[in-house]
């Protein structure tokens, strides 16, 4: 676990520009001043991460290119991404349109970047079967990388990661809806299923029974390439916050969706791609979600990032401001949208 001070000075110019959202919610609280938040726990989240396929072919003998000279994860107290593939050279390739796997030589790249936890509840973790999952768990454990969302059986798949920073216990959970990856059972490996009743129960155990001071829920969900979450996702995310979740982190669509401050929680519906070798495009703009936990106060901001020939770097100036502006205009569907759609049938 990385414990550090505040973000780099190069990011101060954009630190007061917050991700605002459309919809029936109140605006998120602002950072009054950086000095006022020094006692807060700083969490940073990246979206889908895949150091394989096009990344591996393009970077060749430079396995560390992804996060070379990139400090946004190292300067966070805790950093997390969605690991969108198994880490294995074994197993049987599954019959599906896209299958990915990452070589273990890239795990030091992830660990040295300052990433502490990865979500493996997703549609690619079983691309090379149970053997691929078992290798992934073993190699992540060996590299000191915590993981949530999948396991050798039901108990392991649903097991949370709990980290303690400055006296605050923070619990992490991960879920996927199933489909491309099997759901774990008492005797079968798989992912933690995104079932509302079970998620509410898990949150209750961690938060309301005093195990954790804050709960972070990862959800691999949504429609690929869509910039708008489904109304069912919004309703489910709200229900999880009502149950006690403090932060909802979404991924899978490969594009950014809105960030919403709902009641006492923050919901990021999709963080898009971070360094994602599943696509051939090696240069694009994305962002990191930063959460500052003061408890009960929770602040958030979007920190723009450019992936430049597979190398991540902080994006500043007008380009950063434009990215944040675009995210601030992303819509969130409401009950009114559903009523209106039904009335036109």
DSSP letter string over 273-301?
EEEETTSS---EEEEEEEEEE-SS-EEEE
Q: What is the mean pLDDT of the chain?
A: 88
Model pLDDT for residues 108-137, shown as the tens digit of each residue: 999 999 999 999 999 999 999 999 999 999
Domain-embedded: residue 332 = yes
For the chain, what percent of residues have pLDDT higher than 90?
81
Supply the pLDDT for residue 338.
61
Integer Cα distance of 70 and 275 in angstroms: 12
| pLDDT(1) > 70 | no
Integer Cα distance of 56 and 71 in angstroms: 22
- Give the 3-state secondary structure of residue 155: helix
Q: pTM for the whole thing?
A: 0.88
Assign residue 313 the CATH number of its domain: 3.60.21.10
Domain-embedded: residue 158 = yes
Confidence band of 32 (pLDDT split at 50, 70, 90): very low
Note down the domain range covering 318.
9-343
Domain-embedded: residue 4 = no
Domain-embedded: residue 3 = no
Domain-embedded: residue 2 = no
Q: Exposure of 215 by Cβ count < 10 A (0-12 exposed, 13-18 middle, 19+ buried)?
A: buried
Q: Which of 106, 84, 117, 141 is nearest to 2 (CA)?
A: 117
> Does the CA dihedral 310-3-269-259 come out positive or negative?
negative
Q: Which of 208, 215, 116, 204 is nearest to 171 (CA)?
A: 215
Domain count, the chain: 1
Model pLDDT for residues 52-95, shown as the tens digit of each residue: 999 999 998 788 999 999 999 999 999 999 999 999 999 999 99
Integer Cα distance of 82 and 213 in angstroms: 23
Q: Which of 34, 28, 29 is nearest to 5 (CA)?
A: 34
| pLDDT(254) > 90 | yes
For the chain, what percent of residues have pLDDT higher than 70?
86
**Angle formed at CA 118 by CA 27 and CA 185, multiple of 5 degrees:** 105
Confidence band of 189 (pLDDT split at 50, 70, 90): very high
Domain-embedded: residue 168 = yes
Domain-embedded: residue 53 = yes
Domain-embedded: residue 49 = yes
Confidence band of 179 (pLDDT split at 50, 70, 90): confident
């Amino acid at each position: 676990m990385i414990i550090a001070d505040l973000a780099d000075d190069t990011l101060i110019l954009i630190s007061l520009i917050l991700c605002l959202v459309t919809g029936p919610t109140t605006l998120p609280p602002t950072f009054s001043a950086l000095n006022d938040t020094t006692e807060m726990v700083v969490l940073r989240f990246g979206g889908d991460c895949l150091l394989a396929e096009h990344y591996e072919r393009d970077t060749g003998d430079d396995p560390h290119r992804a996060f070379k000279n990139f400090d946004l994860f190292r300067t966070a107290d805790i950093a997390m991404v969605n690991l969108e593939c198994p880490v294995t050279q074994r197993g049987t390739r599954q019959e599906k349109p896209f299958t990915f796997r990452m070589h273990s030589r890239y795990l030091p790249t992830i660990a040295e970047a300052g990433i502490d936890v990865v979500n493996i509840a997703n549609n690619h973790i079983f691309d090379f079967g149970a053997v691929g999952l078992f290798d992934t768990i073993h190699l992540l454990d060996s590299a000191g990388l915590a993981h949530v969302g999948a396991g050798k059986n039901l108990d392991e798949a649903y097991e949370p990661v709990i980290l303690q920073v400055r006296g605050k216990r923070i619990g992490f959970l991960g879920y996927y809806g199933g489909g491309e990856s099997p759901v774990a059972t008492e005797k079968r490996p798989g992912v933690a299923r995104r079932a509302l009743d079970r998620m509410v129960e898990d949150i209750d155990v961690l938060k309301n029974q005093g195990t954790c001071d804050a709960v972070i829920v990862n959800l691999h969900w949504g429609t690929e390439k869509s910039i708008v979450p489904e109304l069912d996702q919004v309703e489910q995310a709200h229900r999880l916050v009502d149950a006690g979740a403090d932060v909802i982190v979404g991924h899978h669509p490969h594009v950014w969706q809105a960030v919403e401050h709902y009641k006492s929680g923050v919901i990021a519906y999709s963080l898009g791609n971070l360094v994602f070798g599943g696509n051939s495009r090696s240069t694009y703009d994305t962002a990191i979600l930063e959460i500052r936990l003061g408890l009960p106060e929770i602040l958030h901001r979007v920190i723009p990032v450019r992936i430049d020939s597979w190398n991540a770097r902080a994006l500043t100036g007008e380009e950063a401001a434009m990215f944040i502006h675009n995210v601030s205009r992303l819509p969130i569907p409401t009950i009114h949208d559903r009523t209106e759609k039904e009335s036109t049938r």
